[in-house]
Amino acid sequence: MLALKVEKKRAQTAKEWLVQKGILASGVKALRDDAYVYFAVTKKTETPFDASFTQKTFEATPTVPSFRKALEDRLGKKLAEAATASFDTIGETAIIEVRDEHKTWAKKIASALLDSNPKIKTVLGKASAMQGEYRVRKLVWLAGKKTFDVTYRESGCVMAFDLRKTYFSTRLSFERGRIASKVKPRENVLALFAGVGPFALVIAKKQPACHVVAIELNPYAAKTMQENVQRNHAQNVTAIQGDVRKVLKDYAQWADRVTMPLPHTGHDFLQDAISATKSGGVIHFYGFGGEKEGVYRNALSSIRRAGQKTKVKCRVLEKRVVRPYAPSVYQVVVDFKVTR
């Protein structure tokens, strides 16, 4: 059977990417040896990480009903086709999004998801859009264990937090690994808008000889980040609760590298980030762009304006689409070097 061969350290990132692409084969267990993990896949494709394709014999997993089949058992075929919901998983928790016209079926949809995925223990439903200064959303319990606490593992790091009180995205796992692989020993890294610490912790784990300062405004997220730092014994991470603009005044031209995973309003903080970056330092800037005007246009314009106002040169090193965000709209990242 066709298999994707990937180093163990990239296994979680690879699995999440395969799921997003819809090419992870179902019904079989991944294989492991001393250095690699092998995932059964349905076809070959280019990967954004180092990997190769080979042939392997896989062991079948115990059969469980598919999500669609479990849903049909509860709602019937016609309704199941209309009501199929999208969902994300964080640890053992699934968060589903059910269209307004199907809200009355939400608990049946959640029950079907539990039955079709033994790894999921709790199903929550989105009850609002992201809102407020801290970009959190209301969630409701639908099925399984009644909890909003999750434990999430990525790149050898463990993070625990309450989903109702902080923003968190598993969809940036590849980005966290990508940036961590670029960090060199003894670099000073600023992780802005740090949340519960995913960028800071993955970077610190990958490069223990660097120093990461992680800044987060949300008091709950900042406190939880500090707990996650202790949980992972990340002695090279300093977690700070505060406003990025105010905190960065103490870090003028300090950073060799800055991460800015705040695509909605990150452009408002670009001048502050540039002021905190050494000559020759690199900033990883996230934004949104539409197909019509060019996906990188907004991000590049923001970088150019910030460079002009701070009187530095900004040279683009790399740019890539991170993920689709809405119809014809994409989240992008632009890596650029600051020269004074």
The CATH number linked to 25 is 3.30.70.2580
pLDDT at 84: 63
User: Do both 49 and 79 map to the same domain?
Assistant: no
Where would I find the beta strands (DSSP E) of 72-200? 86-90, 93-97, 122-126, 139-144, 149-154, 157-162, 188-191
pLDDT band at 11 (very low <50, low <70, confident <90, very high): confident
User: Do 226 and 282 fall into the same domain?
Assistant: yes
- 115 shares its domain with 234: no
- Which of 175, 166, 174 is CA-nearest to residue 194? 166
Last residue of a domain, one of 147, 165, 199: 147
CA distance 102 to 79: 9
pLDDT mean across residues, the chain: 92
Same domain? For 181 and 301 the reply is: yes
95 and 10 together in one domain: no
Which residues 6+ apart lie within 8 Å of 120 measured at CB? 89, 92, 93, 94, 113, 114, 144
**Nearest by Cα to 123 from 70, 63, 171:** 70
- The enclosing domain of 222 has a CATH number of 3.40.50.150
232 and 314: one domain?
A: yes
Mean predicted confidence (pLDDT) in 126-147: 92
Evaluate whether residue 154 is within a structural domain.
Answer: no
| Residue whose token pair is 């992008």 | 332
Whether residue 164 is contained in a domain is answered as no
CATH number of the domain within which 114 lies: 3.30.300.110
DSSP 241: E
Q: Are residues 195 and 136 in the same domain?
A: no
Contacts of 90 (CB under 8 A, 6+ apart): 150, 152, 163, 168, 170
Q: Which of 108, 131, 147 marks a domain boundary? A: 147
Quote the percentage of the chain above a pLDDT of 90.
70
Q: Is residue 233 part of a domain?
A: yes
The better pLDDT of the pair 92, 47 is held by: 92
Per-residue pLDDT of 25-58, as tens digits, reads 877 889 999 999 999 999 998 887 789 999 999 8
User: pLDDT tens across 196-228, in order?
Assistant: 999 999 999 999 999 999 999 999 999 999 999
Q: 10-14 — which CB contacts under 8 Å span 24+ positions? A: 10/49, 10/50, 10/51, 10/177, 11/37, 12/153, 12/154, 12/155, 12/173, 13/49, 13/154, 13/155, 13/173, 13/174, 13/177, 14/39, 14/47, 14/49, 14/51
- Number of domains the chain contains: 3
Tens digit of each residue's pLDDT (9 = 90 or more) over 254-281: 999 999 999 999 999 999 999 999 999 9
Compute the average pLDDT of residues 3-22.
83
Under a CB-based contact definition with an 8 Å cutoff, are residues 32 and 8 in contact? Answer: yes
**Is 64's pLDDT higher than 70?**
no
Domain-located, residue 60:
no
Which residues have C-beta within 8 Å of that of residue 59, sequence separation ≥ 6? 28, 29
The confidence band for 111, taking pLDDT boundaries of 50, 70 and 90, is very high
Answer whether residue 166 is part of any domain.
Answer: no
275 and 199 in one domain?
yes
Same domain, 279 and 197: yes
CB 151 within 8 A of CB 119: no
Same domain, 192 and 292: yes
Tokens at residue 297, please? 């246009």
Whether 168 is covered by a domain: the verdict is no
Q: Looking at the structure, do residues 89 and 51 belong to the same domain, yes or no?
A: no
Is residue 165 in some structural domain? no
Q: Which domain holds residue 313?
A: 173-339
Rounded Cα distance, 1 and 5, in Å: 12
Whether 91 and 162 have beta carbons less than 8 Å apart is answered as no
Which domain-ending residue is among 55, 78, 100? 55
The dihedral over CA atoms of 271, 275, 276, 279, expressed in degrees to the nearest 10, equals 120
Q: Give the least confident one: 59-73, 184-198, 211-225.
A: 59-73
Residue 301: what residue type? S
Q: CB of 310 within 8 A of CB of 271?
A: yes
135 and 270 in a single domain? The answer is no
Q: Is residue 193 assigned to a domain? A: yes
